[in-house]
A and B are shown apart, each in its own frame.
Chain A
Amino acid sequence: MSGSGGTFVDRIDPFAKRSLKKKPKRSQGSSRYRTTNDVELQPLPLLKDVPGSEQEDLFLRKLRQCCVGFDFLDPVADLKGKEMKRSTLNELVDYITAGRGVLTEPVYPEIIRMIACNLFRTLPPSDNPDFDPEEDDPTLEASWPHLQLVYEFFLRFLESPDFQPAIGKRVIDQKFVLQLLELFDSEDPRERDFLKTVLHRIYGKFLGLRAFIRKQINNIFLRFVYETEHFNGVGELLEILGSIINGFALPLKAEHKQFLIKVLIPLHKVKCLSLYHAQLAYCVVQFLEKDPTLTEPVIKGLLKFWPKTCSQKEVMFLGEIEEILDVIEPSQFVKIQEPLFKQIAKCVSSPHFQVAERALYFWNNEYIMSLIEENSNVILPIMFPALYRISKEHWNQTIVALVYNVLKTFMEMNSKLFDELTASYKAERQREKKRERERDELWKKLQALEMNHHQQQQQQ
């Protein structure tokens, strides 16, 4: 993550709150350079006032008119023009929604051209390089009054009953989609929301673009995970993918399985996971519901990326694990129980009370309890030492109470094994203490010997 601001000390400390000073937010326009001369827009008649035969032509003229951009960074510049464009766009939105037969073949390229003119722009670099998505307000797009209407128009266009993908595919091509995808990095969440719906519709209607879209999304994610760790639209893209994964045909294609293991799992690695964890977890669980044999690689992947220093992430991971266990098949559970519960035993022993709490709460889940009971002879010995130790040593009373609950549950589940483990654990502790005592005594003897030796030497 690029962070050039802040003192040197702040940069060392990983827990420092990035934006301590709330800078006054000013909305940003995209980097478009306008000529200083105001462009004069010729007022055109309303579409409803014109006879049917002329409507297409007027429609095209209005579309072309809307290709003119305006500078919103300066709030007072060209107010008349801005208002005219805004009302034209509004009119176009209504026209396309209500009208029948308005989507003739010639209008498709013009529509796309108008949309491309307005939307496709280089996004400005972030105003605040230390932007903390959870704390700070996002920088909003200055030209939103127009952009919103363009997005609205685009959406109605795609969703129109008159829309024909066969014609549309000539103008909505890979280049267009690529530029659309880049816009997902916008800081304005309203824009991303529109983009999400737009891309979802495009994916739905254009079968020919599906593979390409999936591939490009992969590229974006992989770049995000392994290169930049910066992309604002991960959550929205994952939401779209969720609806795609939901619709996967069985048996799952190798491409999709590859995507899960090589892209979705590594997405858990990133520091800002909290921004999109809900969508990511949803995707992962959807995959597992489609193909339960993927459970083992998923769990192993999560264990590999298990957070070691960030406790908040650990709590998120534990939540995701519980969701996965909610849908797991017993045969799959048996495959992953050992490594998983070894990690859970570590979490339960964590001095961070939230991590321990979340891990212990697994035992309140009926289905997980039934799975544990089926395999108690494997799981109890793994969990027992950690639980027994914490019951004596943990500082937090809530945790101690939860540990009691878990131990009581184990006792009810399998008394015999529980008693055996208690006895052997105690015996082990006794042996340890004995060894420690012997070592202490040995040191004392050595010390006494040494002092003796010293005294003898001094006497001589």
Chain B
Amino acid sequence: LRPCHVNASLANKVFIQRDYSEGTTCKFQTKFPSELESRIERTLFEDTVKTLNNYYAEAEKIGGQSYLEGCLACATAYLIFLCMETRYEKVLKKIAKYIQEQNEKIYAPRGLLITDPIERGMRVIEISIYEDRGSSGSSSGSSSVSGSTAR
């Protein structure tokens, strides 16, 4: 998944670290990195991270449903996971879809790309910053699908 700029090249990568203030549950810091200041609005970035944090909290919630899943799985010697998807895996699929959506709608038009944290061991949210290489007159905000520059 790359921005549709023909001349875009990778300039930098920012890594959003984990927030351990509430324990070992998966949560990312909402602190706005300085490298993104000129590229994206703070509120959009914070919304993305907060939504991701909510998804992870939902996946790791310890409550009635997780107990039921745990006890049922234990009773079947965990063989049930051969045919059933765990709740965490279901939420991970939702997260992947959400990230793809955010990339398409918000981040790619601004020359940014979010990598799903699961591909980085759930340690960081990697945001790649792309720069327009060459000045063919196209502004950084537009996304040109075709290869030819506008005349």
Binding between chains A and B: no
Task: Give the interface of A toward B (CB within 8 A).
Answer: none
